[in-house]
Amino acid sequence: MLAIRMRTRRRKAVAFATAAALTALAVPALTATPATATTEPPVTAAATATATAANSAYDSTYYKNAIGKTGTSLKSSLHTIISSQTKLSYSAVWDALKATDQDPNNSNNVILLYSGVSRAKSLNGGNTGNWNREHVWAKSHGDFGTSTGPGTDIHHLRPTDVQVNSVRGNKDFDNGGSAVANGGGSLTDSDSFEPRNAVKGDVARMILYMAVRYEGGDGWADLEPNNNVNNGSAPYMGRLAVLKAWNEQDPPDAFEQRRNQVIYDSYQRNRNPFIDHPEWVEAIW
């Protein structure tokens, strides 16, 4: 299936985020230094309710066919909704990430996902000290590569330090391990990676977006979470129980919500439903 996949190069359908879009959402100060456990917000029902209420404008429009559903019915509706999207080429992803992951305190920089470091946008590349395009859903899990499709879907593509990206590799996500060098508090062992606390929920919601968006259509693998590590090239990502806990532990913040909005307004025209409605994780899984 994958071997015969041929894709035409899509025109870069990229409208650069306008200054208005970039500043439309208030973004609180975001430290450029790695977050620590002590900065983790407590899990509260209010946090989830706030995230839901903040995006209620989309419930009667974008999400109207999904509202009130649960389980496979909800997943199916969301799949249909979010599959209507503009697709980027892999080369266009560089500039997109410079907008979606811009440091709210320094427009010349991006925030690196795992380390929390603020680094110059101009330092994108493949060398030590550069940032590159991390596939949070590791592209080997389903072997989708970097052709236009899941491998260029910026909902799960994030700037990361080249060396930290290499340490993560294609490991599944789980708790535990030893500290990753320059990883901002991220941990790893031989078969899994645990991101720093401040982005645990972000990682969970990216993985689960991918599971809903890619259901086996268009020649791409059906991506799904499971409770394993060592998934290798199978189209699965673990561990689901841990990802669900991370979604509760780290609710969407302004940076993550702004990112979703910039992707929707200026790039892909689709949304990550779990950033708008984190409670939908439990409703489906």
Binding site for Ca ion (CB under 5 A): 174, 189, 191-192, 201-202, 211, 215, 222-224, 250
To the nearest whole angstrom, how small is the minimum distance from the Cβ of residue 236 to Ca ion?
10
Residue 96 vs 198, nearer CB to Ca ion? 198
Q: Which residue is nearest to Ca ion (CB)?
A: 192
To the nearest whole angstrom, how small is the minimum distance from the Cβ of residue 14 to Ca ion?
26
To the nearest whole angstrom, how small is the minimum distance from the Cβ of residue 167 to Ca ion?
13
Pairing, β 187-188 against β 178-179: antiparallel
Residue 134 vs 250, nearer CB to Ca ion? 250
Residue 88 vs 242, nearer CB to Ca ion? 242
To the nearest whole angstrom, how small is the minimum distance from the Cβ of residue 178 to Ca ion?
11
Q: Assess contact for 237 and 223: CB atoms under 8 A.
A: yes
Residue 145 vs 177, nearer CB to Ca ion? 177
To the nearest whole angstrom, how small is the minimum distance from the Cβ of residue 235 to Ca ion?
8
Residue 92 vs 149, nearer CB to Ca ion? 149
To the nearest whole angstrom, how small is the minimum distance from the Cβ of residue 189 to Ca ion?
4
List, in sequence order, every beta strand (DSSP E) within the chain.
102-103, 106-111, 118-120, 131-135, 157-161, 172-173, 178-179, 187-188, 192-194, 224-225, 236-237
Order of strands across the sheet that contains 178-179? 172-173, 192-194, 187-188, 178-179
Residue 143 vs 215, nearer CB to Ca ion? 215
To the nearest whole angstrom, how small is the minimum distance from the Cβ of residue 191 to Ca ion?
4
Tokens of 56: 């209620």
Tell me how far apart the alpha carbons of residues 48 and 188 are, in angstroms, rounded to a whole number: 29
Residue 201 vs 278, nearer CB to Ca ion? 201
Phi-psi sector, 137: left (phi>0), alpha (psi -120 to 50), beta:
beta
The secondary structure element, H or E, covering residue 6 is none
Radius of gyration of the chain (CA): 17
Q: What is the DSSP string of 146-214?
A: TSTTGGG-TTSEEEEEHHHHHHHTTPEE-S--EEPTTSTT-EE-SSEEE--GGGHHHHHHHHHHHHHH-
Q: Assess contact for 85 and 269: CB atoms under 8 A.
A: yes
Pairing, β 157-161 against β 172-173: unpaired
